[in-house]
Every structure is written in C-alpha cells, then in structure tokens.
Amino acid sequence: MIGVFDSGIGGLSVLKALRAELPHEDFVYFADTAHAPYGERGDAYVVDRTRAVVERLRAAHAVKALVIACNTATAAAVHVVRAEHADLPVVGVEPALKPAVAASRTGRIGVLATRGTLGSAKFRQLHASLAGQATFSLQPCDGLADAIEAQDADRIARQCAQYAQAVGPFGTQEGQTDVLVLGCTHYPFATRELASVCGPQVKLIDTGQPVARQTRRLLGEAGLLRTAGAAMLSLDATGSLPALRAAVDRWL
C-alpha cells in the first residue's frame, strides 16, 4: 500500500494522477484536517505533524512508499522524513517551476503558493537555480487552500481573482504572463476560477503527473511495483472521515 498525505483534501489532486499512473496499486490517503492548514504555520509545527503522520501511516497501514502530497510539508519536512525512514521510498512535491520555464514563450511566469512554500529554503533554492531563465511573479495566497477545503464558492472565486490578477497581465505577448504555476496541491480544484481570470491562452501547471511518474520510477527501482490485480483505496484522517469521503466522491 502507498501512503499519500496532505494537511487536507488538496492532495487528492495528486492522488488522482497517481491512480491513473499506477492502476494496480493500493493507496491510503491521509488528511491531517484536525491540524490544517499548514501553509501559514511555522516549519517546526509542520515537521512535527509530518513526523506524526508518517509514524501513523507506517504503524496502521504498513505503507511501502510515501507521497507527501503537500508543498508546505515537502518544503519543511521531506529531508527529515528521508533521514528518519531511509528504508521507505519517499516522493515530495514542489511547485513546477522547471516545467513552467519549458512551457513559457513570453518568459513571464506566475506562481501561486502558500507563504510556507514560498518562504522555504527548498523553494528559494529551486527559484535561484532558474535565475535568468524566466521572470517569476511569486504570489502568496493566504486563505485560498482553506476556502477550497470549506468548498466556499464565493470566497474561492474572490480570492482566485485577487491572487491571479496580482501576477498578470496575462497573454501571449511580450511582457505578459503566459504560464501560471499552481504551487499548492489544493489549487487544481480551483482551475475553473483561475482560468476565468487568466484566459484560455494561459497554461496552468500543477505537479500531479510528474509526481506520479516519479513514484512509478522509485517503485520499479525498489522492486515494489505492482502490475496486476484490483486496486483498493483507503481513507484516514485526524478530522472528519465523512467529510473526507464526501471530498473524494466530489473530486475523484
């Protein structure tokens, strides 16, 4: 069984890509909703919660691999998890800046993410590695993940308009932003609202498919890849399981 972990429902966007890439694998999705959101918390808090969740996934579900489907948790804690669980294949997520550079024609890229992700050393290193290859407009999106968790349509629409407009103007002409990076796993669930602000010519990029491909690669290298049989999905949470099941029914 593969463990997939997020502070809430955002990681379901990654789980969807994982299930498409690995149709014979069993998954357990863990939502730490009782302690969410992570994006506006300090690193120490996120590290503590990530450690606790990984221990629970290993003890209760005997996971053979782990996908940290949360940008904030990856930035703050993936190195800790890899050091403390060296026998466990671990895949993290990060804002898809490199794919965005490859996709952009104007060289101007917007990045929507949480403050925790944008302020992390891991993100700063990634950003610095692409210096000179594109111009990135970095926008912290306070409250957007929480609005998506709550399925508050008015708030989602309002905040998407506010944050997306901050990294515009959008288009395919010189000086315009033609790629928008969704730097939080919650944000793919607001693509309709974001696209309405950006317009059809702007490419929205998230991390689901690259993470799924990397997970397949690591499982294959470890001899853990399952290539036949029916797959099962289990759910676990520190908050409301019925609410998580409802989100799964809606998004998957």
Catalytic residues: 70, 184
For 245, the token pair is: 């099941």
7 is in an annotated binding site: yes
In angstroms and rounded to an integer, the radius of gyration of the C-alpha atoms of the chain is 18
Q: At what angle do helices 121-129 and 71-84 cross, to 10 degrees?
A: 110
6 is in an annotated binding site: yes
39 is in an annotated binding site: yes
Rounded CA-CA distance 248/237 in Å is: 13
| Tokens 């590290």 found at | 47
Angle at 238 between CA 233 and CA 244, to 5 degrees: 45
- Measured in degrees and rounded to the nearest 5, phi and psi for residue 179 equal -135, 135
72 is in an annotated binding site: yes
186 is in an annotated binding site: yes
Residue 69 to residues 14, 42, 49, 93, 97, Cα–Cα distance (Å)? 6, 18, 14, 6, 17
Binding site as annotated, residues:
6-7, 38-39, 71-72, 185-186
Binding site as annotated, residues for substrate:
6-7, 38-39, 71-72, 185-186
